[in-house]
Structure 1
Amino acid sequence: MTTIAVSTDDVLPETTVIRSWKTPIALAVFTVLFGILIFAAPRAGETTFRLSSSTDAIQLPDLVLPVMPTVIVCLVLLALLTALSAFLVRSRAHSPLWLVVLYVLVAIVGFLTWAASGAALPVPGLLAGALGLAVPLIYGALTGVIGERVGIVNIAIEGQLLAGAFTAAVVGTITGSPIAGMLAAMVSGALVAFVLAAFAIKYVVDQVIVGVVLNVLVTGLTSFLYSQVLQSNAAELNAPPRLDRIPIPLLSDIPIIGPVFFRQTLLVYIMYIAVFAVWFAMFRTRWGLRLRAVGEHPQAADTVGIKVNPTRFWNVLMAGAIAGLGGTVFTIGNGIAFNKEMTAGAGFIALAAVIFGQWDPIKATLAALLFGFASSLQNSLSVIGSPVPSEFMLMLPYLVTIFVVAGVVGKSRAPAADGVAYVKA
């Protein structure tokens, strides 16, 4: 008997490792820009970070940092993190999320120290403002995650937020009840989602086109009603009540995080519950398994008895109701009258948070918080008289959006059937 030796190298195909250099390249570019900024416009003096407000039960001492030594240390750390990212991509083919998060934190500390030189920056106020601005983005991001996980690209998040803001203002004013306004906003958001679902699922129209048309339709309709109806009857139709802040005993007294997270309105507390509920349901329940199956492989889901199109339809409607609720932040959430196009592109930033968060509710929430922080930073630096040009500050939230989506996301895969209509054979 003859024994034939076969090498496994002749049988098994060689595995090709695909490396994405987007993250280290983006970090390197940002590091160079940060270095140019601090050396082209050096600033002397100290920056004071106020860690407590006058109403806090526990007072923390101010943190005072010398400007140039601090920003130089931050620049060195950014360079080291960039080098580490390149090394990890070369050896492991990817750059971990924790490295990007650490890089962002170091960059924020360095930039704040430089921009607020000679001034005192209230950290709790900055963080509270970031959370407040991120709330509608988080609601919108949850809407996008649910829609795309079930296979429907929801470009109409902007329209759903705007419809929710308009309806909440009108119903809240007429009834005098913020709760009634919130419920009406959920209905209006679901109605916009109904139109999206009907055309995308029933009539197999391109989902992106339907979403864009719905955004234009809602913007035009609410602007027309504002000009023709609300302006002339502002006291009766456009003076929404404001949700009161509800401090949670003990938790609201925790330094820094207490005033930020636990002295909020009902909308924010509902948001906490919604983020956990969507994450838990999506990855720990039968509903979530069916939802993800429909978004990944609708043919296989149909084969095992899951009704693909009804599953998509009802989940898109539920997601629309979530977006409508998020729209109430712009009106009754802050006691502000409705105005034309007051969402100001929040729905599109929410879509960016969905991509940055890799279609995961928790990661998308963190991305929305980052974008909210960029907007809050713009406001805070303007108040303290930072030398940063106002035009740059207005661009900051959108620059952060482009930076993280185009450069930091790395390799990211959408659900396989995302945006693909399903027609049963």
Structure 2
Amino acid sequence: MSDLAFLTDYLVASLRVAVPLGFAALGGLWSERSGVINIALEGMLLTGAFVSAAVAATTGQVGLAIAAASLAAGLVGLGHAALCVSLRVNQLVSGLAINLSVAGLTAFGARLVFREGTTQGLPALGPLPLPAFLQHLPLLGPLVFAQDWLTYGLWAGIGVSLYLLFYTHYGLALRAVGEAPQAAETAGVSVILIRYLSVGLSGLLCGLGGAYLTLVHVKFFAEGMVAGKGFIALAAVIFGRWHPIGVFLACVLFGATEALQLRIQALNLQIPYQFLVMLPYAIALLALLGLAGKSVPPAALGVPYVKED
């Protein structure tokens, strides 16, 4: 029973770490499928985390905080789209500028809104009130039937994304924009509109991931609390080969790695903790180096689109 309890606790912890990564990676998937590189996932996650904490701390309304976080990060996404799609700024430079700007603005805002730049005791988003017998099932109960609605929303978002991307005309248009934008425009598809919608949706999803961090996972806000999760999410997009299910499984892998290093630290082994902390990032680096095989990105990824006269 103790082994089952340990396994259950480990899997639940892995899922908790994977959920914000999943939201960010799903957002990155939509953006990059349309041809826009989005390394601003880090800044969008941080935006969602700060706005959700600020709204929840001042109003006490969790639902309002989540909606505000998603909207704020969505606006950041539209800003990234304006720079990359309309102004044709280098997409990597735009994403880096957003990350640096958001890091500074949220640090400044946290010192204005919260004492000493951090907050404790935020109102939390609890699990859905499902029947008790489901929640007490061995292993599956805590893992599947004792989750909050953001987690269930992520699972639903993966299914919806899979359907929209591969079984609808809109998904076909989106993939065409990411592969051959000139051909898509010739067929009557608005490349600019598709990319704006996709990058904006990327921000909305990242906002939900940031809200999950502050209102479910850690229940407080601190400067720089995202700590590279946006970049791990970007690695998950590549590791999952730009497919919703593959991307989510990659996030679960990274989440399990993070949860594992925390438990190894708790065992107080004679291993420098710095090596354990770097474990999730080492796995992400291996993914980027092609551990899962050669990943083929959309052909027009990172290429600015210039409409022909």
TM-score range, shorter chain: over 0.9
What are the within-5 Å matches in structure 2 for residues 3-18 of structure 1?
Answer: none
2:127 maps to a residue whose letter is R
1:248 maps to a residue whose letter is L
What are the within-5 Å matches in structure 2 for residues 392-403 of structure 1?
Answer: 392-403=275-286
Helix, strand or coil at the partner of 1:193: helix
Matched, 1:323 2:206: yes
1:272 is aligned, of 155, 168, 179, to: 155
2:122 counterpart residue number: 240
Relative to 1, partners in 2 of residues 1:353 and 1:49: Cα closer, same or farther, differing over 3 Å?
A: farther
Structure with the greater alpha carbon radius of gyration? 1
Q: Structure 1, residues 76-104: CA drift from partner, whole Å, max 9, x if none?
A: xxxxxxxxxxxxxxxxxxxxxxxxxxxxx
Matched, 1:214 2:98: yes
Q: Structure 1, residues 355-414: CA drift from partner, whole Å, max 9, x if none?
A: 000011110100011000011001112223334332221111111112233141211110
Query: TM-score scaled by structure 2?
Result: 0.94
- 2 CA distance for matches of 1:354 and 1:284? 20
- 2 CA distance for matches of 1:367 and 1:351? 10
- 2 CA distance for matches of 1:232 and 1:304? 55
1:50 maps to a residue whose letter is D
* Runs of 4+ with >4 A deviation: 232-235
Helix, strand or coil at the partner of 1:331: helix
Confirm or deny: 8 A CA contact 1:240 1:335 kept in the other structure: no
Matched, 1:187 2:63: no
Helix, strand or coil at the partner of 2:72: helix
- 2 CA distance for matches of 1:233 and 1:209? 28
Aligned residues: 307
- 1 CA distance for matches of 2:253 and 2:15? 9
Helix, strand or coil at the partner of 1:248: coil
239-248 or 149-158: which moved more?
239-248
2:266 is aligned, of 370, 373, 383, to: 383
1:289 counterpart residue number: 172
Helix, strand or coil at the partner of 1:215: helix
Q: Structure 1, residues 210-235: CA drift from partner, whole Å, max 9, x if none?
A: 00000000000001111233226978
Following TM superposition, by how much is the alpha carbon of 1:288 offset from its aligned partner in structure 2, in angstroms?
A: 0.8
What are the within-5 Å matches in structure 2 for residues 14-413 of structure 1?
Answer: 50-51=3-4, 53=5, 122-231=6-115, 239-246=121-128, 248-249=130-131, 250-334=133-217, 336-413=219-296
Following TM superposition, by how much is the alpha carbon of 1:309 offset from its aligned partner in structure 2, in angstroms?
A: 0.5
Helix, strand or coil at the partner of 2:220: coil
Relative to 1, partners in 2 of residues 1:234 and 1:372: Cα closer, same or farther, differing over 3 Å?
A: closer
Confirm or deny: 8 A CA contact 1:150 1:291 kept in the other structure: yes
Residue identity over aligned pairs, in percent, reads: 40
Relative to 1, partners in 2 of residues 1:355 and 1:233: Cα closer, same or farther, differing over 3 Å?
A: closer
- 2 CA distance for matches of 1:129 and 1:214? 30
Q: Which has the higher contact order (CA 8 A, sep 6+)?
A: 2
Runs of 5+ unmatched residues, structure 2 = none
Following TM superposition, by how much is the alpha carbon of 1:150 offset from its aligned partner in structure 2, in angstroms?
A: 0.5
Following TM superposition, by how much is the alpha carbon of 1:259 offset from its aligned partner in structure 2, in angstroms?
A: 1.3
- 2 CA distance for matches of 1:344 and 1:279? 29
RMSD of the TM alignment (CA)? 1.8
- 2 CA distance for matches of 1:133 and 1:406? 23
Relative to 1, partners in 2 of residues 1:232 and 1:400: Cα closer, same or farther, differing over 3 Å?
A: closer
Q: Structure 1, residues 288-312: CA drift from partner, whole Å, max 9, x if none?
A: 1111111011111111100110111
1:224 maps to a residue whose letter is F
Query: TM-score scaled by structure 1?
Result: 0.69
